[in-house]
């Protein structure tokens, strides 16, 4: 059985405070139904406790999928998840680019969490999966929720469903990856004083199509200037009518605008 791990875009992303080394945000997350990774359980070819099949550029212990496995083990599900991973390898077919601001790693992790819940009969509710997901990564609770659109706040752990269907979105990812830690470091150093909590409070009430109609990418995403500062070459790809997702490097727009250029 194949599971789809959808990409997301940040319709808007406003920084509203700091929490130690973290940044508190208010953001509208929306899935992109046309862009997804595919995860499936396949027969094992090794005797490793956790076998991962796919194109990954980090050590296994640093992979969010492996971290998902370990978080479940630490919360009393060791027997169940070890049984599942004793029978299967996890195969991931990647379509969501790394370092693109589209949440691919977090979406994969949330999807793997659902797979283990289903196949391992863990009996976890959506709320429990969202809570466990927050221990894996900041964006995982949104993907675990199954919501098409949500207002996300705190450091990503507060996810409130926004009642709208996912828009038909076209995504463009430049041939460069943005390092999230570098982008936030740049934001804190150069742009922290520009926080606008009042504007963030207004944006959470507006529908996504209204936000994209009335605000520019600079107004919608506080991290865009920081990305340009950290990666000046990004400016080559910042075209009129396109918006910026997360900490980059992807741009997006409503697909029905394509006919008009």
Q: Cite the active site residues.
A: 8, 139
Residue with tokens 């083990």: 73
For tokens 């090794």, name the residue: 46
Phi, psi of 39 (to 5 degrees): -115, 140
Are the CB atoms for 68 and 50 separated by under 8 Å? no
Cα separation, 134 vs 182, whole angstroms: 21
The CA-based angle 91-97-100, given to 5 degrees, is 140
In 3D space, the residue among 251, 250, 135, 247 whose CA is nearest the CA of residue 181 turns out to be 247
Q: Are 226 and 177 in contact (CB under 8 A)?
A: no
Q: Cα–Cα–Cα angle for 158, 152, 91, nearest 5°?
A: 90
Q: How far apart are CA 252 and CA 174, in angstroms?
A: 11
| Dist. CA 108–CA 143, nearest whole Å | 9
CA–centroid distance for 5 within its chain = 10
């Amino acid at each position: 059985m194949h599971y789809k791990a959808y990409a997301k875009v940040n319709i808007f992303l406003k920084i509203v405070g700091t929490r130690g080394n973290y940044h508190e945000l208010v953001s509208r997350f929306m899935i992109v139904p046309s862009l997804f990774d595919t995860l499936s359980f396949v027969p094992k070819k090794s005797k490793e406790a956790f076998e991962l099949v796919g194109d990954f550029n980090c050590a296994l212990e640093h992979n969010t999928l492996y971290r998902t496995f370990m978080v479940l083990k630490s919360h009393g599900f060791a027997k169940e998840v070890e049984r599942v991973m004793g029978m299967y390898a996890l195969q991931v077919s990647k379509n969501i680019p790394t370092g693109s601001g589209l949440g691919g790693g977090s979406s994969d992790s949330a999807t793997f969490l659902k797979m283990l819940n289903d196949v391992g009969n863990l009996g976890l509710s959506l709320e429990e999966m969202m809570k466990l997901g927050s221990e894996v990564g900041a964006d995982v609770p949104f993907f675990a929720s199954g919501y098409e659109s949500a207002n996300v706040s705190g450091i990503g752990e507060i996810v409130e469903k926004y009642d709208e269907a996912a828009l038909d979105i076209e995504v463009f990812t430049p041939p460069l990856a943005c390092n999230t830690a570098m982008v936030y470091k740049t934001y804190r150093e150069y742009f922290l004083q520009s926080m606008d909590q009042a504007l963030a409070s207004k944006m959470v009430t507006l529908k996504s199509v209204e936000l994209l109609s009335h605000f520019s990418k600079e107004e919608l995403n506080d991290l865009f200037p920081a990305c340009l500062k950290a990666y000046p070459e990004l400016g080559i790809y910042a075209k009129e009518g396109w918006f910026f997702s997360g900490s980059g490097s992807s741009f997006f727009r409503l697909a029905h605008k394509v006919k008009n250029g």
